[in-house]
Chain A
Amino acid sequence: MRRDEARVTKCGSPMTIAAGTPLREFAAGFAQDRVAVTALAVLGLILLAAVFAPLISPQDPYSLGELDILDSKLPPGSKSAAGMTYWLGTDEQGRDLLSAIFYGLRISLGVGAISTLVALAIGTAVGLAAAHAGGWLDALIMRLVDLQLSFPAILIALVLLAVLGQGVDKIVIALITVQWAYYARTVRGSALAEKRREYVDAARCMAFGTARIVFRHILPNVLPTLIVVATVQIAHAIALEATLSFLGLGMPITSPSLGLLIANGFVYLLSGKYWISFFPGAALLVVIVAMNLTGDRLRDVLNPRLASHYGA
């Protein structure tokens, strides 16, 4: 990475930029913030833990044969009858909490990521359609978006789950429903701005088809903003799913996410058995904070108006 090339910004202050491909420049910009790099590394470890949960867990927390009810609610560091150490203690069914957290991470991250990606796809399609079509279709879509965004996400998700009932698919539907409008509004705004740019005029002059202009010219220019929004949105989706599960309206007992683990332990919190709620809660905290820090840094690096660390 070369950072010796100095330039003068419009404001007159000298700044350095990294030479090389845009991706390299971007990585160099990102790496200038130690906190963000640490957050990204933590996020990487969490992802690995989630993906390889069956391999690294001391116990399969949902195989009843491996659970011993006599080991119920043991404090952290206790040993099982078979000589295994429960580093984070056990829950009311004698389940190793560390293993339960690894599996819970899988479910929380999976639900958050899938719902965010689907909502991103739907919102992008609807936003592009609104920006391109204009007229009554645009007005109709945007009124719908305004209407939905004027109510808190948690309220809409609660109502949907009250109607649909419990289940992993239901909660994914609820999370998609509360998120799509946000992307639709963001995409429409950026797409309208891009539409007025010269390169779109140029593409029109070359008699390119509408589809080509929308997908090959406008979409790639809208996408970076969206990716940043999505990073932080995954954290929001995970937090919302955890909240719904805590309220007993989210994940079914057969697929316990971090929120459901916290809810299960909450009953025992008042009798001093803090660990059943506390450790899943700590895991949730680390996930959300790491994602927010990474997302904030991505936004700073990709935002041309704040290009103080990065080539303009």
Chain B
Amino acid sequence: MTAMLAFAAKRLAQSIAVLFVMSALVFAGVYAIGNPVDILINPQADQAEIARATAALGLDRPLWLQYWNFLAGAVAGDLGRSFVSNVPAGYLILERMPATLELAAAATVIAVALGIPLGLWAGLRPDSVSGKAIMAGSILGFSLPTFWVGVMLILVFSVELGWLPPTGRGETVTVLGVQLSFLTWNGLKHLAMPALNLALFNLSLLIRLTRAGTREALAQDYVRLARAKGLTMARVMRVHVLRNILIPIVTVTGLEFGSLIAFAIVTETIFAWPGMGKLLIDSINVLDRPVIVAYLLVIVLVFVIINLVVDIAYAALDPRVRPDGRSP
């Protein structure tokens, strides 16, 4: 137990170190290169005015002090104000976050609900036409760029068939102060294409993972024994195969959630989905630095937390990676 706690503490310290390193990199990259005063101030301003603006923004101080002030603000939740809208950058990000999380959650549901059954089927019948077709599809899903698939989805379902709206979020329902699209029919229609687009990579990944796991499990003695006992194939698949391959599937689905949020940048831009990713692209286009920094810090935090939780959960569940090698 103490070893487990020590491991968790060590891992937490590492995560905090990563956060510091990343915040310094983000700060150096976005703040120290170029001069925000040039964008903020009237080009005809004289030297005295430029000096005043520089001092007001704290840009005349040494770099380490600027970083320290930025860090102190960030820890207190103050990430600066947007140059464009003069609204706190942290507020802008939080306001857009539910839309992105809803999209990522919907994509996860699609990937799991389709990926596991398709993977089981392909693993059960690897040489059948349907099994091969599923694998070919997953290879395509892996190699095609997300934006390309998004463009094609719009072309087929919005332009040619006219079934689904190409852009926006549709009607939303406010639940506990959070706007959600999936509770209205109109919102669901808006959500369908972006969610499928975002899900495609993880869907392909889950198909491969499930298929490989199924093929491996089917060759094991305990599956043969279960079949020899006279259990139906359906029961063997459900109880003996699926149970055993579920751990890596859950891990990958969890780990990939951060990537989904990052890849939502592309999907949100194509489908004009009003989430954090679209905000990032819009902010990059107008060089709104505080918002870019706020977005990056939020996403770094998400990644660090996901990795931390998965590592600790793994150590708790799997004796092989546990620090002392004994049960906690």
Residue ranges of A at the interface with B (Cβ–Cβ < 8 Å): 147, 150-152, 154-155, 158-163, 235, 239-240, 242-243, 246-249, 259, 262, 266, 269-270, 272, 274, 277-278, 281, 284-285, 288-289, 292
Q: B54 at the A/B interface (Cβ < 8 Å)?
A: no
Question: Taking the nearest CB of chain B, how far is it from the CB of A118, in angstroms?
Answer: 21
Q: A154-B262, A159-B296 are in contact. Are A270 and B148 (CB under 8 A)?
A: no
When A242-B145, A266-B151, A288-B144 are in contact, do A152 and B284 touch as well, CB less than 8 Å?
A: no
- On whether the beta carbons of A163 and B33 are closer than 8 Å, the reply is yes
Closest A residue by C-beta to B307: A150
| A285 near B262: Cβ-Cβ < 8 Å | no
* B139, CB-defined interface residue at 8 Å: yes
- B197 on interface, CB distance cutoff 8 Å: no
Evaluate contact between B263 and A235: CB separation under 8 angstroms: no
Question: Using an 8 Å CB-CB cutoff, how does the interface string of B265-288 with A read, 1 for contact, 0 for none?
Answer: 110011000000000110011000
Q: Which residue of B lies closest to A295 (CB)?
A: B143
- Docked complex: B229-274 residues within 8 A CB-CB of A: 258-259, 262-263, 265-266, 269-270
Residues of A with C-beta under 8 A to B270: 266
Interface residue from B29, B152, B285, B296 paired with A281 (Cβ < 8 Å): B152
**A159–chain B nearest beta-carbon distance, Å:** 6
Report the minimal beta-carbon distance from A145 to chain B, rounded to whole angstroms.
Answer: 13
Please, how many angstroms separate the alpha-carbon atoms of A162 and B259 in the complex?
A: 19
13 further A-B pairs in the complex, CB-CB below 8 A; given A155-B265, A239-B143: A152-B258, A154-B262, A154-B266, A155-B299, A159-B29, A160-B29, A161-B284, A235-B143, A242-B145, A246-B266, A247-B265, A270-B166, A284-B148
29 CB-based A-B contacts, threshold 8 Å: A151-B300, A154-B263, A154-B265, A154-B266, A155-B265, A160-B29, A162-B30, A163-B30, A239-B145, A240-B145, A247-B147, A247-B265, A247-B269, A247-B281, A248-B281, A248-B285, A259-B147, A262-B148, A262-B151, A269-B154, A269-B155, A270-B154, A270-B158, A270-B166, A274-B155, A284-B148, A288-B144, A289-B140, A289-B143
CB pair B145 A243 closer than 8 Å: yes
Q: In the complex, A262→B146 CA distance in Å? A: 13
Per a CB cutoff under 8 Å, which of A158, A246, A269 touches B280? A158
A73 to chain B, nearest CB (A): 15
Complex: how many Å from CA A274 to CA B152?
10
Residue of B nearest to A249 (CB): B284
Q: Taking A163-B29, A269-B151, A277-B151 as contacts, is the C-beta distance between A292 and B145 under 8 angstroms?
A: no
Number of interface residues of B (CB under 8 A): 40
**A284 to B151 CA separation, bound complex (whole angstroms):** 13
**In the complex, chain A residues whose CB is within 8 Å of the CB of B72:** none
Chain B proximity of A164: nearest CB distance (Å): 8
**Nearest 3 A/B pairs, CB to CB:** A239-B145, A162-B284, A152-B262
Which chain A residues lie closer than 8 Å to B33 at the CB level?
Answer: 163
Secondary structure at chain B's binding surface: helix, strand, loop or mixed? helix
Cβ–Cβ contact A158 & B143, under 8 A: no
Query: With an 8 A cutoff between CB atoms, is B21 at the interface?
Result: yes
Given that A154-B262, A155-B299 are contacting pairs, would A285 and B148 also be in contact in the complex, using a CB cutoff of 8 Å? yes
Which residues, 58 to 98 on B, are CB-close (under 8 Å) to A? none
Query: Inside 8 A of A235's CB, which chain B residues have their CB?
Result: 143
Q: CB-CB < 8 A to A152: which residues of B?
A: 258-259, 262-263
Contacts of A270 in B (CB 8 A): 154, 158-159, 166
Bound together, the chains give a CA A248 to CA B155 distance in angstroms of 20
B182: CB under 8 A from chain A? Answer: no
> B21 to chain A: which residues have CB within 8 Å?
147
Knowing A262-B148, A284-B148, A288-B144, the reply to whether A247 touches B266 (Cβ < 8 A) is yes
**A272–B159 contact, CB under 8 A?**
yes
- Which B residues are CB-close (under 8 A) to A161? 284
B146 CB contacts on chain A under 8 angstroms = 243
Flag whether B18 is at the interface (Cβ < 8 A): yes
CA distance A162 to B280 in the complex (A): 10
Q: B118 an interface residue at 8 Å Cβ cutoff?
A: no
Cross-chain contact B259 with A292 (CB below 8 angstroms): no
Determine whether the beta carbon of A147 is less than 8 Å from that of B281.
no
- B145 lies within 8 A of A284 (CB): yes
In the bound complex, how far is the Cα of B187 from the Cα of A312, in angstroms? 57
- Chain B nearest CB from A148 CB (Å) reads 10
Complex CA gap A292/B139 in Å reads 9
Q: Which residues of A contact B155 (CB under 8 A)?
A: 269, 274, 277-278
Chain A neighbourhood of B191, CB < 8 A: none
Closest to B26 in A: A159
B-side contacts of A160, CB under 8 Å: 29
Chain A: CB-nearest residue to B158: A270
Alpha-carbon separation in the docked complex, A147 to B24 (Å): 14
B303 to chain A, nearest CB (A): 6
